[in-house]
Amino acid sequence: MWESMPEGGAYWDKELLRMQKLKGQRALVTGASSGIGKAIAIEMARAGADVVVNYLYGDDVANAVADEIRGHGVRAIAHRADVSREADVVPMFERMEAELGGIDILVNNAGLQKDADFHDMTMEQWNTVIGVNLTGQFLCSREAIRAFRRQGLRPEISKALGKIVCISSVHEVIPWAGHVNYAASKGGVMLMMKSIAQEYASMRIRCNSICPGAIRTPINQGAWETEESYNALMKLVPYKRIGEPDDISKAAVWLASDDSDYVTGASIFVDGGMLLYPGFENGG
């Protein structure tokens, strides 16, 4: 039986297309013009969702992602907005409501790093990271919750009133010297997510996080682009390979679908075991 199945990846691809687990749903993915956000936006479309591709820089790349999404037979809008600004976020949700009729899935993905030794960290470095990574997730989650409550349940579409997927990091629990602003923002995302989940579970709004480890994207290019840096990185990854954006996008589709209907308030680590204290493999 197992031998007769197609190779794993191809099997999943066919199943996803056949099942269309997110058919009729409308997803907003922030920071969706590159990296993990782009992979999630495309995977949501492959699962049948209409997608708003939020981005801040690069109209061309965002439009190209939206075009690729339309190629999967669903609707797509590329929308430029700075998620850290309320004056940008509110009109983005208004446009989604006007053009797609509402929202079923929010993926809070937009995030950045501005690394510095702590004693040299400027207010600008602190505020920018907290602003995008934490305040941005607050603003988008608040608008999504308002919309979910207004819209009401569509049982033929989903068992939940709405779903929020926060892209956090292993650094919501692993301290990170030289990246204090980033670790603080992700620690904040953890308890923001869990508190939202607690507050709205009885309304059947689910809120969860994916915590990526080292994923091959522009944000951490320095950590994987040379053989030397890649080998150093692998000392932190028990599974001995870097993660790819699709490792995250498949988890995101699962968290957005009814397959995870009993999951809320969870931090799901997709990290090749980075959280397993790899330094203790041969020590302690």
Note whether 219 binds ligand BGC by CB under 6 A: yes
Give the total of residues touching ligand BGC (CB under 6 A): 10
CB of 213 to ligand BGC, least distance (A): 5
Q: What are phi and psi of 273, to 5 degrees?
A: 90, 15
CB of 272 to ligand BGC, least distance (A): 10
Q: Which is nearer to ligand BGC, 145 or 167 (CB)?
A: 167
Cα–Cα distance for residue pair 248/232, rounded to 1 Å? 22
Cα–Cα distance for residue pair 264/146, rounded to 1 Å? 18
| Residue 192 near residue 172 (C-beta atoms within 8 A) | no
Q: Which is nearer to ligand BGC, 168 or 257 (CB)?
A: 168
Strand partners, 53: 29, 78
Region label for 108, one of left (φ > 0), alpha (ψ between -120 and 50) or beta (otherwise): beta
Q: Which is nearer to ligand BGC, 50 or 247 (CB)?
A: 247
Q: Which is nearer to ligand BGC, 25 or 169 (CB)?
A: 169
Q: Please, which of residues 184-213 interact with ligand BGC by CB under 6 A?
A: 212-213
CB of 243 to ligand BGC, least distance (A): 9
| Residue 76 near residue 45 (C-beta atoms within 8 A) | yes
Binding pattern for the stretch 11-50 against ligand BGC, x by CB under 6 A and - elsewhere: ----------------------------------------
Of 214, 253, 255, 256, the residue at the interface with ligand BGC (CB under 6 A) is 214
Q: Which is nearer to ligand BGC, 125 or 220 (CB)?
A: 220
User: Which residues are annotated as catalytic?
Assistant: 182
CB of 39 to ligand BGC, least distance (A): 15
Q: Which is nearer to ligand BGC, 171 or 194 (CB)?
A: 171
Q: Which two tokens stand for residue 21?
A: 């687990």
Q: Which residues of 247-281 are buried (b: 16+ CB within 10 A; e: fewer)?
A: bbbbbbbbbbbeebeeebebbbbbbbebeeebeee
Cα–Cα distance for residue pair 78/80, rounded to 1 Å? 7
Neighbours of 178 (CB within 10 A): 12
Which listed range, 4-12, 22-30, 217-225, 250-258, lies at the site for ligand BGC (CB under 6 A)? 217-225
Q: Please, which of residues 111-140 interact with ligand BGC by CB under 6 A?
A: 113
Can you state the percent helix, strand and coil of the chain, rounding each to 5? 50, 15, 35
CB of 222 to ligand BGC, least distance (A): 9
CB of 183 to ligand BGC, least distance (A): 9
Neighbours of 148 (CB within 10 A): 23
Binding pattern for the stretch 158-187 against ligand BGC, x by CB under 6 A and - elsewhere: -----------xxx----------------
Torsion angle, CA of 42/246/256/192, rounded to 10 degrees?
Answer: -110
Q: Which residues bind ligand BGC (CB under 6 A)?
A: 113, 169-171, 212-214, 219-220, 223
